[in-house]
Amino acid sequence: MSVSDSTTSPASARLARTVAITSGKGGVGKTFFSANLAAALSRQGLKVLVLDADLGLANLDVVLNLYPKITLHDVFTGKAQLEEAILPAPGGFSVLLAGSGLVEYSRLTPEVRDQLFTIFEQVKPRFDVVLIDTGAGISDVVLYAVSMAHEVVVVATPEPTSMTDAYATIKVLSAQQARESLNLVVNQVARQGDGRTICQQLQQVVERFVVGANGSAPRLNFLGDIPLDTSVREAVRKRQLLLELHPGSPAAQGVVQIATRLLSRA
């Protein structure tokens, strides 16, 4: 996959690689991971967009210390054009930010579905990779956002509640979207190798209790783990990308390795 311009003529048009980043519960670092993954992919020479699909409870702007004057809400309501809402972000990628505290986007109405789909289709020819940062959980809005992507990354932590919710998410995606393969990232691991062990344990549970549309359990691809790292807390507090504030930190290197693995599976 290589960088190309935004020309979208029929002869040269190409569609982005689309990846939904989701989680069973909040507080696992999903949005922070999405932003830093985008930065890592951008460093590989790719044109990357992060679409904030956490409609109504968005916080990607907070993570990136952005103060957008135009959001998805303005595009939805016709107050602004899509081009005006796509903003440059630290790290060399672009963002399409959602509004926060908008109750009307807490459920998937036909209007929200159509508007989100239309915007997604419009941005795909303009980028090499589109990361969809979904909300947490299995609401209709989250599941629809995930359904638009070819690939799914489930972010979890070693906490039992996070693993239980990750399992529930995998089960629902298998049943409702016939997902045969999902990627897993384990954040905040205490020891190197813990993430792979957790993935194996989760795979065993999935194989025991989940039957996919093809009659077999979905396969979990372990993309990598991100270690517990005090640098992450500092980056969150300063509202900066970890890859820019502490690029040599263990957590930053974990994200870079995950980006490399993701690209190798193209």
**260 located within any domain:** yes
**7 located within any domain:** no
Backbone angles phi, psi at 19, to 5 degrees: -130, 120
**10 located within any domain:** no
Q: Is 202 exposed, middle or buried (0-12, 13-18, 19+ CB in 10 A)?
A: buried
Nearest residue to 220 (alpha-carbon basis) of 232, 210, 233, 231:
210
CATH number where 162 lies: 3.40.50.300
**40 located within any domain:** yes
Predicted confidence at residue 100, as pLDDT, reads 66
Per the structure, the count of domains in the chain is: 1
Instruction: Give the residue numbers spanning the domain of 88.
Output: 17-264
Predicted confidence at residue 229, as pLDDT, reads 97
**89 located within any domain:** yes
- The mean pLDDT of 238-252, rounded to a whole number, is 98
Q: What is the pLDDT of residues 24-78, one digit of tens each?
A: 989 999 999 999 999 999 999 999 999 999 887 778 999 999 999 999 989 988 9
**34 located within any domain:** yes
Q: What is the pLDDT of residues 176-221, one digit of tens each?
A: 999 999 999 999 999 989 999 999 999 999 999 998 878 889 999 9
Predicted confidence at residue 106, as pLDDT, reads 67
